Amino acid sequence: MKSIFILGIIIVGLVISCSGCTSNNSTQISESTGIPVSEVPNLAYDVSKSTGTIKSIQFKGVNLTMNQCLYIFAKGIVMINNGEKGNIPIKTIQKADNPSGTVNTAKIAKNEYVDMADRTYKWMDQNNKVPNYIGVYEGGTNDLSPEMLLRTFVKVLTEYKSSGKLPESVTVP
Q: How far apart are CA 133 and CA 147, in angstroms?
A: 9
The Cα–Cα gap between 74 and 25 comes to 25
pLDDT in tens, the chain (173 residues): 444 444 334 443 333 333 333 334 456 788 889 999 999 999 999 999 987 667 889 999 999 999 999 999 999 999 999 999 999 999 999 999 999 998 888 899 999 999 999 999 999 999 999 999 998 876 666 689 999 999 999 999 999 999 999 999 999 87
pTM of the model: 0.82
Cβ contact 124:43 at 8 Å: no
Interatomic CA distance for residues 147 and 97, integer angstroms = 13
Q: Parse the chain into domains and list their residue ranges.
A: 28-172
Q: Which amino acid is at 91?
A: K
